[in-house]
Every structure is written in structure tokens, then in C-alpha cells.
């Protein structure tokens, strides 16, 4: 099977080699690449309808190694993918790949738009039934923050770690060429943290976390959640359980920031208004955390500061817009009254 593909995607011949390296002798009968949001660092293909091939030239070695370690630690947990192989591919530059068994189902984000609120609540309950046991798994240290900018292997407390992380974030953000208006907003975000940081004093200790838990990483079929995928940010360090829900909450309020091409201009927070109530109802241990709204807002502020600090070459507009919302509009208040 020979087909021309853009240089950043694996060829059919490379897909065959990936299968053979994993000990799979079946011929390649299909290689279907999935549409992805512009921000995704990966290409993803479904091979023979049974296997998922993910490839990335952007920090793929570190991210996929983390995922392999995470899934090895969680192999007894249901609803998680099984790794079949890993290695390198020569694309337009060297890329790392990960081959996994495919979990049946569609990503819940686009599926959500087709469903009524009762069906949506069932999906959220199914998601919680998979992630709650993961959150009960204690680990030795915290990871404080998001993605590549996180403070890792933190052996102190949850509050102290966020104090240090916030200082680092603010220094990185202020090293950017901020406008006067942006600088005022960053100062206001710092003020919110200073006024509400004590909300982070409550903790249960570091627990295993997914690290990027949003509806594109949740699959469902026939009205039931079938699994949670994409564990590359499951650091091996832990978070507090409520922190691991921050992506679900962020993209329920501001879904355009994660929507795939074709949906980003259509979706609004109103489309996902049922998500946060369903999540809190399905996960009462999180709902009972003292000062939960303040904690969740701090996590969101940290995320937006991380995005502002990390995106070259210009200060990105969308994280600035969301930061203004978290600081000034209290979008979580209706759900936590």
C-alpha cells in the first residue's frame, strides 16, 4: 500500500513497520488520520480500526515516556489504553511514536453537542467512575502547575508549592513584553492569589492524576464512557484531586479554546453549562472541599499565566481574555453558590 502524505505524517509503509515492530502480523488495511485542534503536538492515526498510532516530533520522547510509565502504573485500572509499542519514525524530522490498542468510541467533546442533559450527565458519571479510583492512588510527591512549566517532585505542602510556583509564573510573565493593560491584569491576578491562597491549605496529599483531563480525552459509545486516553501529562507526581478536574472546568466555560477546527466558531459556554453541575454531583468528595471555587479559580489563573509565559513570539490573546474572566467575572460562582 503506497500513498503520498504530507511530510509530517507517517506513510503507509511506516505504519506497517510500526505494526510489525509490535509483533502484529496482520496486513495494514486502513490508516485513518484524525482531525485535531491546531494546538495539538501529535498526529494520530487509527490503523485497521484496532490500533492507535500517535506520533510527535515536539518533545514526544519525554511525553510518551511519561505516558508509558503512567499506564504501566495503572494497568489494573479499567478504561485505560494498553501500550503495544513505541519507537522513532523519520517524518519531516525524527519523531517518537506510541502504538496502543484502540478503545472504542468517539471523543465526548463533539458528541456532547448532540446529546440532551440527561445523557450528558450519564457520561460525566461514567468519566468520574474511571478517574476517581485513579485519584485514590497516593504518590510520593506533588507536581504543582501545568505542563512543561510545572514544579515537579515537590515534597512540601500544596499551599507552599503553589506559593513558589506563582512566584515563578509571575516572573516569567513579567519578562514578556506586556502592554500596560496586560501588566495591570497580571497584577490583579497576583492580588487574587494573595487574597485567596489560604484556600489551598486544605489537602489530602498527592494523588495520581491524568494531567490534561478534558472531553477530547474521554471516549464514549452507545451512551457509555468507554475510556480515558492521552496520559502523556500524567507526571508520575501527584496533585490534589480537584486540580485534575481543572481542564474539564476551564473548557466548559471557554470551550472555543480547545475545540477542533469546524467547531471553534460554533461552541459557547452555554453548550457545556450542564458539565460542571454534573461533575460536582458525580464527585461529591470534590464538591465538599472547603473554598472549592477559590481553589479552582487559582488553578485557572495559574494555567493562563503559564500560557501567557510560554507562547512565543507574542503574548497570546485568548489566555489574556480568559485570565480577565477568571479574575473579574467569577464564572464559577453560579455553580458553587
Q: How many CA atoms lie within 13 A of 277 on its CB side?
A: 11
* pLDDT band (50, 70, 90) for residue 3: very low
Whole-Å CA distances, 257 to 25, 34, 38, 164, 219:
41, 19, 10, 27, 20
Residue pLDDT, tens place only, 33-50: 987 766 678 889 999 999
pLDDT value at residue 6: 47
pLDDT value at residue 37: 67
Ordered by where they begin, the domains of the chain are 12-101 (3.30.200.20), 106-336 (3.90.1200.10)
Residue pLDDT, tens place only, 118-144: 999 999 999 999 999 999 999 999 999
Residue pLDDT, tens place only, 232-275: 999 667 999 999 999 999 999 999 999 988 899 999 999 999 99
Question: If you search the block for the grid coordinates 467512575, which residue do you land on?
Answer: 129
Contact 47, 15 (CB under 8 A): yes
Residue 142 pairs with which residues in a beta bridge?
Answer: 154, 238
CA angle 3, 57, 38 (to 5 degrees): 80
**Residues 158-186: what's their mean pLDDT?**
98
Residue 43 pairs with which residues in a beta bridge?
Answer: 55
Contact 66, 147 (CB under 8 A): no
* pLDDT band (50, 70, 90) for residue 9: confident
User: Is the pLDDT at 279 greater than 60, yes or no?
Assistant: yes
* pLDDT band (50, 70, 90) for residue 117: very high
* Contacts by residues 113-120 (CB-CB < 8 Å, ≥ 24 positions apart): 113/263, 113/267, 113/271, 117/274, 117/278, 119/223, 120/274, 120/275, 120/278
The dihedrals phi and psi of 83, each to the nearest 5 degrees, come to -80, 130
Amino acid at each position: 500500500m503506497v500513498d503520498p502524505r504530507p511530510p509530517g505524517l507517517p506513510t503507509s509503509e511506516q505504519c506497517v513497520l510500526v505494526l510489525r515492530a509490535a509483533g502484529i502480523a496482520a496486513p495494514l488495511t486502513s490508516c485513518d488520520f484524525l482531525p485535531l485542534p491546531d494546538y495539538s503536538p501529535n498526529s494520530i492515526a487509527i490503523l485497521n480500526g484496532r490500533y492507535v498510532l500517535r506520533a510527535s516530533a515536539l518533545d514526544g520522547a519525554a511525553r510518551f515516556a511519561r505516558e508509558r510509565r503512567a499506564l504501566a502504573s495503572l494497568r489494573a485500572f479499567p478504561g485505560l489504553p494498553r501500550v503495544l509499542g513505541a519507537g522513532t519514525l523519520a517524518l519531516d524530522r525524527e519523531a517518537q511514536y506510541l502504538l496502543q490498542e484502540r478503545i472504542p468510541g468517539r471523543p465526548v467533546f463533539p458528541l456532547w453537542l448532540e446529546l440532551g442533559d440527561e445523557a450528558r450527565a450519564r457520561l460525566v458519571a461514567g468519566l468520574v467512575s474511571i478517574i476517581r479510583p485513579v485519584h485514590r492512588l497516593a504518590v510520593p510527591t506533588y507536581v504543582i502547575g501545568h505542563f512543561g512549566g510545572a514544579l515537579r517532585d515537590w515534597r512540601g505542602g500544596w499551599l507552599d508549592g503553589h506559593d513558589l510556583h506563582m512566584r515563578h509564573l509571575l516572573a516569567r510573565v513579567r519578562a514578556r513584553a506586556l502592554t500596560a493593560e496586560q501588566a495591570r491584569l497580571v497584577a490583579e491576578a497576583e492580588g487574587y492569589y494573595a487574597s485567596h491562597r489560604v484556600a489551598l491549605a486544605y489537602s489530602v496529599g498527592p494523588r495520581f492524576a491524568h494531567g490534561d483531563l478534558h472531553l477530547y480525552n474521554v471516549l464514549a459509545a452507545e451512551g457509555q464512557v468507554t475510556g480515558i486516553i492521552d496520559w502523556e501529562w500524567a507526571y508520575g507526581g501527584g496533585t490534589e484531586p480537584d486540580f485534575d478536574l481543572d481542564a474539564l472546568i476551564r473548557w466548559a466555560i471557554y470551550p472555543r479554546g480547545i475545540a477542533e477546527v469546524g467547531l471553534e466558531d460554533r461552541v459557547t459556554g452555554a453548550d457545556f453549562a450542564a458539565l460542571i453541575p454534573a461533575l460536582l454531583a458525580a464527585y461529591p468528595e470534590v464538591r465538599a472541599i472547603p473554598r472549592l471555587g477559590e481553589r479552582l479559580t487559582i488553578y485557572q489563573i495559574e494555567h493562563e499565566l503559564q500560557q501567557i509565559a510560554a507562547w512565543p513570539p507574542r503574548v497570546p490573546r485568548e489566555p489574556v481574555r480568559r485570565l480577565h474572566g477568571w479574575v473579574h467575572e467569577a464564572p464559577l460562582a453560579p455553580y458553587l453558590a
